[in-house]
């Protein structure tokens, strides 16, 4: 089957040799002469396979490959790396950056073609199995800490599962994760187990070992549970993990920490919707304005929605005043529900399941409808 292949090499002679070889097999070829141009063309042209020279101006092949692996859209795109450097060490760096194949110059056209055909065939198989699902990603992040993000994420996930969706709740935080307590789980393995892995090593099998079943149907990947598991995650891991999770469910609900790092950025950029959570008081509203600015700076294509949780009970600012300061509408202001929260955690059963008639549970249902109604217009993938 003819494919669309990007060839990135600043050596024009080699670029032509490879192009001609591929065209003889009726492949469509796009060429780039530096790493930046290669990345731009990959995003605009969406080739089926990429051939990258290691030594290129602006961005080298290793860096291009690492960038591709960070982004769930290109995380499994087949990559062949070419290098004049025959040393084992270079080859290892290439494979670690996420290359599927590594060929040393001089290139034998027949070998290149064989590798191309094999990789394309393997990828077609992978896509066939992955095409079963492509889940939507709903991420929640606080304007600041402790505003009720995890409680919302847990209940939204449980409600989605109750509506018949396959749901994975990903608690993506570097330090202690509280999601386990909401479901009365005692996970023996957490997100931290992925930290030492290269993105390519994050397979469905590895991910499945981390997923905990719950009685409400949500599968949960818990954040770190012990102090010695705390620590930052890198963007490559975030992208590779999300790429695997979306093939396994209808919805990935992500509970994010109120943090600024490359992993959080990667998840925010890969989300269909981001729900920014705040409290209806001045400092939280001010923090929310900056949280929104931060997310927009990552990408203006991210769909941001805002929600307030009135944990304290007092509304010191009017809804109008809050929306004026935010310069955006609020989807809702959730009422205080201290009693319900206590019971839910005590029994390890989210409010939407244990107390479905509670006003908090009802409002979760309304919120979900609002989020789902917007899907036709806000889906940017």
The residues that touch ligand ATP, with contacts defined as CB under 6 A, are 142, 145-151, 178, 258, 309, 311, 334, 336-338, 341, 360
Binding site partner of 221, from ligand ATP, Mg ion, none, Cβ cut-off 5-8 A by kind: none
Write down the least CB distance from residue 155 to Mg ion, Å.
13
Paired with 103 in beta bridges are 82
Cβ nearer to ligand ATP, comparing 60 with 150? 150
Write down the least CB distance from residue 343 to ligand ATP, Å.
10
Write down the least CB distance from residue 309 to ligand ATP, Å.
5
Task: Count the residues of the shown chain that bind Mg ion, applying the rule CB under 5 A.
Answer: 2
Write down the least CB distance from residue 146 to ligand ATP, Å.
4
Write down the least CB distance from residue 334 to ligand ATP, Å.
5
Write down the least CB distance from residue 58 to ligand ATP, Å.
39
According to DSSP, the β-strands at 333-334 and 212-213 are unpaired
Cβ nearer to ligand ATP, comparing 251 with 360? 360
Q: Tell me which residue has tokens 């695997």.
A: 244
Contact track, Mg ion, 125-164, x by CB under 5 A:
------------------------xx--------------
Binding site partner of 123, from ligand ATP, Mg ion, none, Cβ cut-off 5-8 A by kind: none
φ and ψ of 274, to 5 deg: -120, 125
Contact 243, 206 (CB under 8 A): no
DSSP string, 106-162: SP-HHHHHHHHHHHHHHHHHHHHHHTT---EEEEEEESSTTSSHHHHHHHHHHHHHH
Could you give the angle at the alpha carbon of 151 between the alpha carbons of 146 and 154, nearest 5°? 140
Binding site partner of 145, from ligand ATP, Mg ion, none, Cβ cut-off 5-8 A by kind: ligand ATP
Write down the least CB distance from residue 20 to ligand ATP, Å.
56
Paired with 49 in beta bridges are 5
Q: Which of 55, 277, 250 is nearest to 162 (CA)?
A: 250
Cβ nearer to ligand ATP, comparing 140 with 202? 140
Cβ nearer to Mg ion, comparing 169 with 243? 169
Close Cβ partners of 173 (under 8 Å, ≥ 6 residues apart) = 191, 223, 224, 255, 256, 257, 259
DSSP string, 347-381: HT--HHHH-TTSHHHHHHHHHHHHHHHTHHHH---
Binding site partner of 151, from ligand ATP, Mg ion, none, Cβ cut-off 5-8 A by kind: ligand ATP
Cβ nearer to ligand ATP, comparing 347 with 379? 347
Paired with 51 in beta bridges are 7, 80
Contacts with Mg ion by CB under 5 A lie at 149-150
């Amino acid at each position: 089957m003819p494919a669309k292949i990007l060839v990135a090499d600043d050596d024009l002679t080699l670029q032509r040799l490879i192009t001609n070889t591929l065209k003889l097999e009726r492949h469509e070829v796009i060429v780039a002469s530096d790493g930046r141009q290669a990345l731009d063309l990959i995003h605009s042209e969406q080739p089926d396979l990429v051939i990258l020279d290691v030594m290129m101006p602006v961005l080298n092949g290793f860096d291009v490959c690492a960038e591709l692996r960070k982004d769930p859209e290109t995380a499994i795109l087949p990559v062949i790396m070419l290098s004049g450097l025959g040393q084992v060490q270079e080859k290892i760096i290439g494979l670690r950056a996420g290359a599927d194949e590594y060929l040393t110059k001089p290139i034998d056209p027949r070998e290149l073609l064989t590798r191309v055909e094999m990789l394309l065939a393997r990828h077609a198989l992978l896509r066939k199995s992955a095409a079963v699902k492509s889940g939507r990603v709903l991420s929640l992040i606080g304007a600041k800490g402790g505003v009720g993000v995890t409680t919302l994420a847990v209940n939204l996930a449980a409600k989605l599962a109750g509506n018949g969706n396959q749901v994975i709740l990903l608690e993506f935080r570097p330090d202690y994760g509280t999601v386990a307590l909401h479901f009365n789980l005692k996970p023996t393995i957490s997100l931290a187990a992925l930290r030492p892995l290269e993105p390519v090593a994050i397979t469905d099998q590895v991910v499945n070992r981390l997923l905990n079943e719950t009685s409400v149907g949500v599968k949960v990947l818990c954040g770190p549970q012990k102090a010695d598991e705390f620590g930052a995650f890198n963007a490559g891991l975030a992208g590779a993990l999300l790429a695997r999770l979306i093939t396994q469910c209808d919805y990935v609900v992500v509970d994010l920490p109120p943090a600024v790092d490359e992993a959080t950025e990667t998840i925010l950029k890969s989300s269909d919707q981001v729900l920014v959570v705040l409290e209806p008081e001045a400092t939280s509203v001010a923090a929310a304005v900056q949280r929104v600015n931060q997310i927009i700076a990552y990408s203006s294509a991210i769909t941001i929605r805002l929600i307030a949780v009135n944990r304290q009970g007092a509304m010191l600012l009017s809804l109008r005043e809050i929306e004026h300061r935010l310069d955006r509408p609020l989807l809702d202001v959730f009422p205080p529900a201290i009693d319900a929260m206590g019971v839910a955690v005590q029994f390890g059963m989210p409010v939407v399941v244990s107390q479905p008639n509670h006003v908090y549970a009802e409002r979760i249902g309304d919120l979900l409808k609002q989020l789902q109604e917007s899907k036709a217009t806000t889906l940017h993938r």
